[in-house]
Structure 1
Amino acid sequence: MKFCQTTFKTILLTILVIFFTGCFDSPDEFVSPTWDVDVNIPITKKEYSLLELVEQDSSFLKSSQDPSNLGLIYFGDTQFVSTIKIENQLKLKSLHTNTTHLLGNVKVNVPLPTATNIKVEEWTENVTNGSSQLFPEQEGNVTIDIPGIETVEKIFLEKGELKFVIFNNLPVNITLRGIAIRNKVDKSIIAERSNSVNDWVKIRKFTIDSVSFPELQNVEITNELEYVGTIYSIGSNGEEVIIPNDGGTTILALFDKLVISSATAPLPSQYLEFSNSVSLDDSTQIEHALIKNGSANITVNNNMDVNLHATVNFQNLLDPDQNPFSLNIPLNRNELAKNIEIESLTDWTISSNNPGELTSDLVYTIQVVTDSTGELSTISKNDSISFDFNFGGLSFKSFTGRFKPTTFEINESSFDINYGDFDDQLKFGSIDFKGAKVKLNLQTSADLKFALNGNLSSSNGNESHTITLENILLPSENSTNIDLTELVNGYTNDLPNTFTMAGSGILNPLFETGTISSLDSIFGSMNFEIPLNVGISGASFLDTLSIDLGEVNEDDFERVNYGEITFSVENGIPVGIKFKATVLDSNYNAVLSLPTIYNEKEYLEIPNPQVSSDGEVLQVGLIEQTLQLYNEDVIKFIKNPYMQISFSFATTNSANQNVKFRTSNKINFSVKANASYR
């Protein structure tokens, strides 16, 4: 729009200077006549093109080199965008997981079985070891102690098997009836067989047999047991037999396949191992990530009545020396809330097991070994050890993998467009630019894409407009063009000169695999292009100029009686202009209006050219006008230092249709003048 200011001021000043200097360039021996003399001034011609205007102010006014809009003039400005640094955007929310592992089946030391001997005298009458005699029919009840599991005080058996191996060391057959095995102290039954014929156990003389209790379930077994039952023998059928010196019945109790749910005993070492993981995020997957900041906290609870050692091994969490993180934790019996703090994870690494693989977990294995001290302890299969893992404030120096789409804020940045004095002096009813745009030339040093969202706002100090930026993907092969039509149009009186961008970004919006660093950034520039494809109505422009007529002799003006200037204009610039001027004294008071009252016109006019429907100049506008001045007005002009020029203009065509200003647009004018002097 600066073309209005420069071109119009130049035209008007040229006209006035030609009139006041060209008319009175007197001969060397000038003699004032005593009668009026008419003087005719040769015709002066001048051509101005908008190309000259662009070349004079190439810092902001530019012309398009695009063949489709060749020579179209536009306001052009490049603003560098404040660098958007990644810094701490590579971060994960705090990670937390806990795991509890039950001890499971309890292991105890099971001693070698010990045989129990039932002497024949304990259940018979008139039968003696080491004798040769008749063995009469006999039946006797026995209650004898048998060894339990001597290495424990007691165990609770979830399931298991008990087998009795029985040696009949007698010369007669025997039958075991109503067998029961019970705890000696409280007489609670562990296993039994009924006293029915089907459950009797018959053992031939001098042979070994066995009886099994294969389904021991949910019973408590102590270290002191009793065998209770009846032994029957039909005898030797009247024959004399030899009774061995150690004659009797030997019983060997064998426990097998024990599933122990609890035990009170000096326990052997219990061993358990389990694996689990800490989930990094619902979607982030890592191949290799170097930690910038972070800490870890592990809390352990030993819910067992034994001392133990727990070893935690992380497979893919590596310390600064690239060793897999391993932690040995000793715990006393029933020790709770033992806390292990790792204050800094700086320069630690999270890595997948193999190059090219991605992981979303910190995988760990825990091994627990209880101490075997010989001390009495009570443990249960439901006893447990629990671990609570917390990883806080994790951010990364570098990251290779698939980082989940992450939103981050972009600080507000503002920049101004300088229209020069023109913006202060131009007032308008409405202005409508067409094809205004901004080119976003933004790049990133990261190997991942970004999406920008937010608002781009404009303001002229009194009004503001905003457009929304949505999912602008970076980097892109070409510049991103944003339509600024809504942002620059619709203003009254003043053009927008301040632009503000604010919003947010999305890291890795396409959820791709790549590499990014906390040192990476988004950088680049914004190229504003506001083409002079514009419709203007009700516009006015006011400027004050210093009058400089060069070396003109003021005495010559004293002799001026009358003068007039006639100018012809061929206007190829698609705007119609009406302008007038006011001469001001040194205090900026008005002393003379141009055109003067006696010219019977309010303004001088440069006509509209004929313009096509798409804003191109088809035919120049033509006009010829004459301006008259008398002696006293010439004096006012020359003796006062300032002139205020007021333009009013509108673009060609009805309804403020947009027109195109090109470097090829020209305005031609010619001036001729005549004067009379005394």
Structure 2
Amino acid sequence: MRRTPPNKLSTATGSHRLFSPKWLMLAILLVFGCDLSVKDPVLPTWSVELNVPIGNETFKLREIVNDSTIVVQGADSALFLSFDGDLESIEISAADFNAGAVDTTHSFELGNLKLNNLEALKSGQITLGSFFPELANLVSGGQTIPFSISDTTFDPAPSRLNSNDFVGFRVTDGQLRLRFTNTMPIPVGPNPSQPNGFEVSVTDSFGTELVTFLIDEVVTTGNTVERVAELNSDIWIYAPLHLDFVLPIAEPTAFQLSSQTLNESGVELDVVLEQMEVDEAIARIEQQETTERGGFQLDDRASLSEAVIESGRIQLDFLNQTNVDMQLEYRMPNIITTSGLPYSGVMDVPQNGTALLDVPLNNMRLANPDNPGEYIDSIFTEYRIITDPTANIVHLRATDKVSIGVQIDSIIFQSMRGYLENQVFEIEPYEETDVMDYEDIPDNIRLENVNFMLKLSNEFYIEDMTFDLTIVGYHEKNGVVTDSARLELVNQQIEPGYPGNPGISYISVPGDVAADFLNVLPTRIRTYGQAVGNGAVEINQNSLITGNYSFSTPFRLRIEGDALYTGDVNELTDDDIDQDIRDASDENLEQAELSLNVL
């Protein structure tokens, strides 16, 4: 028996050569120094050392064989599989963060009405001659005579106070002021019959007593006294008002009596309704003002600190449900125009009428004008309602309303900065067919370890972003799915980035998991999933997440099955080894096993 020269070992797949040729030195060395005897029919026992010099690695095999087997499947064997593909790009832009459609109505009541400019209700002069009509005969010739009057008390008829300003109103707050002026040449005030002074009672046209004043001081000629009383709330006051009073002469007095004294001196009483606040009025209504604020929330999962609007519009539909014309001033503090000022304007809205405002928002910004950089979670409008004063009597209530309909199709952003909370982005399903042709690969190949790598390139900044991705592989034969497997990537982190400077993330799975996937020999791959964003965010238009995946074997597999070789027991030559085995590449072979059964 003699040593055989080195031979080449190769493994390829059909006509697809996967390895470059390399000499494989095969030496079978008979162990010297041992006794060898051959006794038929007992088979000899061989001690074989196989040297496989691939690169600088040496692989040794020592085997006692009872079968003639080379554990290599020859031309149908495969030692390396590799394929890759791209995921469907996720294009996430600021346009994906929008205010969404809004269709809402804000209704504001006018609130309590203020009547601060009511004219004073005047009795006019109640003359001395009306108290003493009989004195007119004493001076009928135009003469002036001395006259003395005692400390008597007059009881004049009630005075009627007409108003051109109102028919009636219901008081919620206010006061009534009485002015009493004495122009008679005699003092008025407490006397023996009216020691506490005199009372003035004010009632409305229905006899409702509004207030009663006590004047307990002496009012001399040419002087005026005032009394003020708070009005009870929730009472109606109807015009005209009435004054009931008695008039005591404070002390006996002598004076010069003439027709002029009788007709031009007397007392005057004025009633002033002031600081009036009412919840319903039939009156001339002075200008009323009220301010309100209405708005709508953005997506409650996102808060903006600033956003540039690409497109969108807000339509405001004003409905005046009152009997007065009005101006409606509006201001949108969160919407900043290109001039840097909040969007604002004025609309004239007729009584019981409507007005429409269409606000294009292109190139405007959403921001917090008072505290730049702070988050905003809603868009709101400040309203100032100014009613026109009325020349005529109108009926108005505090509950009369102004309604403002707000309609927004959508506000699309060019760019945005803000904060997200559990914002979900769907990864559109993606499918790749004709992944690889496995025609020359036998079904009994089983990969034990596979490298899987997923690379993601992210061009937008979200502080904390994770994704779940499912990759399903199908093996189809003649259009029928015969096997399938899936990879589940759960809660994988995506590194943040910016346009032109993407964040790169690498994701892998254990080799045996990837091997189970690849062992179905997928001909079609489908992916789907979703990403979830949290934290600070900064996004510009047309930012992308792109990705690609790759599967590759680490140049090792198990070949299940026997390839029978029959040869001369005494020698093993190059011609005895399959050409594909001899052409195997040392760059792709990590381990070789050879079993020989010598017959």
- Which string of whole-angstrom CA distances, capped at 9 and with x for unpartnered residues, describes residues 248-291 of structure 1? 33323233322233333333322333344432232422233233
- The counterpart of 2:208, out of the listed 188, 195, 218, is 188
Q: How does 1:301-380 map to 2 (within 5 A)?
A: 301-318=319-336, 324-335=342-353, 338-342=355-359, 345-353=361-369, 355-372=372-389, 374-380=391-397
Indicate how the Cα distance of structure 1 residues 110 and 131 shifts in structure 2: closer, same or farther if over 3 A, else same. Answer: farther
1:78 aligns with 2:84: yes
- The counterpart of 1:460, out of the listed 475, 487, 496, is 475
1:9 is displaced (CA, Å) by 12
Indicate how the Cα distance of structure 1 residues 102 and 92 shifts in structure 2: closer, same or farther if over 3 A, else same. Answer: closer
Q: Structure 1: 5+ residue runs without aligned partners?
A: 11-45, 53-72, 194-198, 541-577, 580-602, 607-622, 628-643, 648-660, 673-678
Equivalenced residue count is 492
- Which string of whole-angstrom CA distances, capped at 9 and with x for unpartnered residues, describes residues 531-585 of structure 1? 355556xx35xxxxxxxxxxxxxxxxxxxxxxxxxxxxxxxxxxxxx22xxxxxx
Aligned 8 A contact 1:290 1:396 in 2: yes
- The counterpart of 2:114, out of the listed 106, 112, 121, is 106
1:333 is displaced (CA, Å) by 0.7
Aligned 8 A contact 2:177 2:271 in 1: yes
The whole-number CA distance in structure 2 between the counterparts of 1:396 and 1:308 is: 35
Higher mean alpha-carbon deviation, 476-485 vs 155-164, is at: 476-485
Q: Secondary structure at the match of 2:267?
A: strand
1:215 aligns with 2:243: no
Indicate how the Cα distance of structure 1 residues 3 and 382 shifts in structure 2: closer, same or farther if over 3 A, else same. Answer: farther
Indicate how the Cα distance of structure 1 residues 203 and 441 shifts in structure 2: closer, same or farther if over 3 A, else same. Answer: same
The whole-number CA distance in structure 2 between the counterparts of 1:448 and 1:490 is: 32
Aligned 8 A contact 1:48 1:668 in 2: no
Look up the match of 2:507: 480
1:501 is displaced (CA, Å) by 1.4
Larger radius of gyration: 1
- Which string of whole-angstrom CA distances, capped at 9 and with x for unpartnered residues, describes residues 473-500 of structure 1? 22266522123634542898x5334332
Aligned 8 A contact 1:458 1:465 in 2: yes
Indicate how the Cα distance of structure 1 residues 258 and 373 shifts in structure 2: closer, same or farther if over 3 A, else same. Answer: closer
Higher strand share goes to which structure?
1
The whole-number CA distance in structure 2 between the counterparts of 1:179 and 1:323 is: 58
The whole-number CA distance in structure 1 between the counterparts of 2:323 and 2:589 is: 95
- The counterpart of 1:515, out of the listed 533, 538, 552, is 538
Indicate how the Cα distance of structure 1 residues 605 and 365 shifts in structure 2: closer, same or farther if over 3 A, else same. Answer: farther
Q: Secondary structure at the match of 2:410?
A: strand
- The counterpart of 1:261, out of the listed 261, 267, 279, is 279
Aligned 8 A contact 2:451 2:552 in 1: yes
Look up the match of 1:548: none
Aligned 8 A contact 1:140 1:231 in 2: yes
1:94 aligns with 2:111: no
The whole-number CA distance in structure 2 between the counterparts of 1:383 and 1:325 is: 27
Indicate how the Cα distance of structure 1 residues 201 and 291 shifts in structure 2: closer, same or farther if over 3 A, else same. Answer: same
1:522 is displaced (CA, Å) by 0.7
Indicate how the Cα distance of structure 1 residues 525 and 106 shifts in structure 2: closer, same or farther if over 3 A, else same. Answer: same
Aligned 8 A contact 1:149 1:222 in 2: no
- The counterpart of 2:591, out of the listed 660, 665, 672, is 665
Look up the match of 2:155: 141
The whole-number CA distance in structure 1 between the counterparts of 2:462 and 2:494 is: 9
Identity of aligned residues (%): 12
Aligned 8 A contact 1:172 1:205 in 2: yes
Q: Secondary structure at the match of 1:485?
A: helix
- The counterpart of 1:158, out of the listed 172, 178, 183, is 172
1:445 aligns with 2:430: no
- Which string of whole-angstrom CA distances, capped at 9 and with x for unpartnered residues, describes residues 98-157 of structure 1? 433332333353336646322334445866696534424544433343545543343333
Look up the match of 1:582: none
- The counterpart of 1:413, out of the listed 402, 408, 430, is 430
- Which string of whole-angstrom CA distances, capped at 9 and with x for unpartnered residues, describes residues 315-339 of structure 1? 2324567664334322111225x54
Indicate how the Cα distance of structure 1 residues 5 and 294 shifts in structure 2: closer, same or farther if over 3 A, else same. Answer: same
The whole-number CA distance in structure 2 between the counterparts of 1:135 and 1:9 is: 142
1:519 is displaced (CA, Å) by 0.7
Look up the match of 2:530: 504
> Which residue identity is paired with 1:467?
L
Aligned 8 A contact 1:139 1:233 in 2: yes
1:345 is displaced (CA, Å) by 4.1
- The counterpart of 2:554, out of the listed 516, 519, 531, is 531
Q: How does 1:568-579 map to 2 (within 5 A)?
A: 578-579=562-563
> Which residue identity is paired with 1:447?
Y
The whole-number CA distance in structure 2 between the counterparts of 1:8 and 1:211 is: 119
Look up the match of 1:561: none
The whole-number CA distance in structure 1 between the counterparts of 2:53 and 2:204 is: 121
1:604 aligns with 2:530: no
The whole-number CA distance in structure 2 between the counterparts of 1:667 and 1:9 is: 23
Q: Secondary structure at the match of 2:351?
A: coil
- Which string of whole-angstrom CA distances, capped at 9 and with x for unpartnered residues, describes residues 141-178 of structure 1? 33343545543343333222222222343535445645
Indicate how the Cα distance of structure 1 residues 426 and 211 shifts in structure 2: closer, same or farther if over 3 A, else same. Answer: closer
Indicate how the Cα distance of structure 1 residues 438 and 163 shifts in structure 2: closer, same or farther if over 3 A, else same. Answer: same
The whole-number CA distance in structure 2 between the counterparts of 1:530 and 1:183 is: 103
Look up the match of 2:46: none
- The counterpart of 2:240, out of the listed 216, 224, 237, is 224
1:305 is displaced (CA, Å) by 0.7
> Which residue identity is paired with 2:168?
K
Indicate how the Cα distance of structure 1 residues 240 and 666 shifts in structure 2: closer, same or farther if over 3 A, else same. Answer: closer
1:521 is displaced (CA, Å) by 0.7
Indicate how the Cα distance of structure 1 residues 339 and 192 shifts in structure 2: closer, same or farther if over 3 A, else same. Answer: same
Indicate how the Cα distance of structure 1 residues 205 and 352 shifts in structure 2: closer, same or farther if over 3 A, else same. Answer: closer
Aligned 8 A contact 1:116 1:146 in 2: no
Indicate how the Cα distance of structure 1 residues 663 and 432 shifts in structure 2: closer, same or farther if over 3 A, else same. Answer: closer
The whole-number CA distance in structure 2 between the counterparts of 1:624 and 1:352 is: 92
The whole-number CA distance in structure 1 between the counterparts of 2:343 and 2:232 is: 45
Q: Structure 2: 5+ residue runs without aligned partners?
A: 1-8, 18-49, 57-78, 191-196, 477-481, 496-502, 573-577, 582-586
Look up the match of 1:399: 416
> Which residue identity is paired with 1:665?
Q
Aligned 8 A contact 1:142 1:227 in 2: no
Indicate how the Cα distance of structure 1 residues 7 and 339 shifts in structure 2: closer, same or farther if over 3 A, else same. Answer: closer
The whole-number CA distance in structure 2 between the counterparts of 1:121 and 1:477 is: 106
1:307 is displaced (CA, Å) by 0.9
> What's the TM-score once normalised by structure 2's chain length?
0.69
Q: Secondary structure at the match of 1:422?
A: coil
1:389 aligns with 2:413: no
> What's the TM-score once normalised by structure 1's chain length?
0.62
- Which string of whole-angstrom CA distances, capped at 9 and with x for unpartnered residues, describes residues 169-206 of structure 1? 3535445645321234x33333235xxxxx56453543
Q: Secondary structure at the match of 1:489?
A: helix
Q: Secondary structure at the match of 1:171?
A: coil
